């Protein structure tokens, strides 16, 4: 069975109506979203439920100084059998979320994460987050997606490539649509790859793509996975 996988950092200041419309237009089977804030006026969890998606949400309250919940969410048109959350580091606390999805009797292990932002510089703590995440991954029927806040030449991405397949070898840029996506970096163009979809080596993939949407400072990415 072929599944369309979508990963997207939807930005805590993003256009949620635009996000929902993009999902309607592209109809992915499984979605990993980062920077999900369920308390916002347009509740992304309820909106995608109305489109037929089951979901699992992990709040990471440490990312918001105002105390509002923000975190990662996984959505699936197929049945979610279980969900689990892992702490990748206590310092600059970041999480990884895992769901097991039933795909016609086959269990697919789906991970979604958002590693700490380092302004595209090497970070020992970010490397530790990646090492912890790698130890959690099954060797088969596994999919990892998210905003790694790491460029293709970074040690984080190199670590991932040692154990997983990078589904988009073009490493086309995904960030930033808007300069206020990072006041320190002040990005002026879409010229940096921060978002990835990786799979275990037993899974075949095709048709990787970087989507076109102005709803977030990140562009959505997708790939077809054969399960």
133-191 pLDDT, tens digit each: 999 999 999 999 999 999 999 999 999 999 999 999 999 999 999 999 898 999 999 99
61-79 pLDDT, tens digit each: 655 666 667 889 999 999 9
> Are the beta carbons of 110 and 99 closer than 8 angstroms?
yes
- Say how many domains are in the chain: 1
Instruction: Residue 17: count other Cβ atoms within 10 Å of its Cβ.
Output: 12
Instruction: Give the Cα separation of 175 and 200 in Å (integer).
Output: 25
Helix (H, G, I), strand (E, B) or coil at 179: helix
| Domain extent for 31 | 2-226
Whole-model pTM: value is 0.96
β partners of residue 147:
114, 195
Q: What is the CATH number of the domain that holds 37?
A: 3.60.10.10
> Are the beta carbons of 77 and 30 closer than 8 angstroms?
yes
Helix (H, G, I), strand (E, B) or coil at 175: strand
């Amino acid at each position: 069975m072929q599944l369309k996988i979508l990963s997207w950092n939807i930005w805590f200041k993003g256009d949620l109506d635009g996000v929902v419309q993009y999902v309607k237009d592209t109809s992915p089977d499984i979605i990993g979203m980062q920077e999900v804030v369920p308390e916002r006026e347009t509740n992304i969890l309820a909106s995608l439920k109305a489109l037929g998606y089951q979901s699992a949400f992990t709040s990471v309250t440490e990312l918001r100084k105002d105390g509002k919940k923000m975190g990662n969410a996984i959505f699936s048109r197929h049945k979610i059998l279980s969900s689990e959350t892992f702490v990748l580091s206590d310092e600059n606390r970041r999480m990884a979320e895992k769901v097991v999805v039933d795909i016609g009797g086959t269990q697919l292990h789906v991970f979604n994460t958002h590693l700490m932002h380092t302004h595209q510089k090497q970070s020992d703590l970010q490397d530790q987050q990646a090492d912890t995440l790698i130890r959690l991954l099954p060797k088969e029927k596994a999919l990892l997606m998210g905003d790694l806040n790491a460029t293709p030449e970074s040690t984080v991405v190199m670590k991932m490539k040692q154990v997983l397949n990078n589904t988009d070898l073009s490493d086309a840029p995904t960030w930033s649509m808007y300069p206020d996506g990072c006041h320190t970096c002040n990005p002026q163009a879409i010229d940096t790859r921060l978002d990835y979809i990786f799979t275990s080596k037993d899974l075949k993939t095709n048709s990787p793509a970087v989507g076109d949407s102005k709803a977030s400072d990140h562009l959505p990415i997708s790939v077809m996975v054969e399960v």
